Amino acid sequence: MNKFVVLALPILGLLGCQSTAPTSNDNTVINSAVENRNNIKPIIMITAMYPDYEFQNGIEGSCKVSFDLIDQEKFGSAPANVEPLQCSNSNFLRACEKALTKWRFKELSKLDKSESPIGLQYTCKFELERT
């Protein structure tokens, strides 16, 4: 019985996180996620959550960061050494860093050798919808 519960919970959790089929806009976002590389693209890309205070107070902004890729034991490579290049506030930086910790890329050995996995750049944009 315990084994069933242990297996059922992750499966139910994944079913609750299903998304719709990707749109062409989703592919454009992934293809242009790393701003200063053409062939290094995330396999898993999580967008930053809007910080509560900024959202409630209508504050918009962005945070451009630099990061390196390092190999993970089981999951390809992941961002490391995240450094702010230009951020409009510290809450946007924290939200951007938190999202980047969930990104995943191919293993370093499988990336295009002509492009360095060091000093990649991405901009988290925090914009409110206009109605």
Domain 21-126 is in which class? alpha beta
**Domain coordinates in residue numbering, the chain:** 21-126
pLDDT digits (tens, 9 = 90+) for 32-53: 789 989 899 999 999 999 999 9
Nearest-angstrom CA–CA distance, 36 and 55: 29
Q: Does residue 16 surpass a pLDDT of 80?
A: no
The set of residues, in sequence order, having a beta carbon less than 8 Å from that of 31 and lying 6+ positions away, is 41
Which pTM value belongs to this model?
Answer: 0.76
**What pLDDT score was predicted for residue 85?**
97
Output the pLDDT for position 130. Answer: 80
Neighbours of 131 (CB within 10 A): 3
With cut-offs at 50, 70 and 90, classify the pLDDT of residue 25.
Answer: low
pLDDT higher at 22 or 84: 84
SS (H, E, C) the chain: CHHHHHHHHHHHHHHHCCCCCCCHHHHHHHHCCCCCCCCCCCCECCCCCCCHHHHHCCCCEEEEEEEEEEECCCCCEEEEEEEEEEECCHHHHHHHHHHHCCCEECCHHHCCCCCCCCCEEEEEEECCCCC
| Lookup: tokens for 85 | 């290049």
Band (pLDDT 50/70/90 cuts) for residue 6 is very low
pLDDT digits (tens, 9 = 90+) for 70-122: 998 888 999 999 999 999 999 999 999 999 999 999 999 999 889 999 999 99
> CA 112, CA 63: separation in Å to the nearest integer?
27
Asked whether the beta carbons of 77 and 107 are under 8 A apart, the reply is yes
Instruction: Give pLDDT, residue 119.
Output: 96
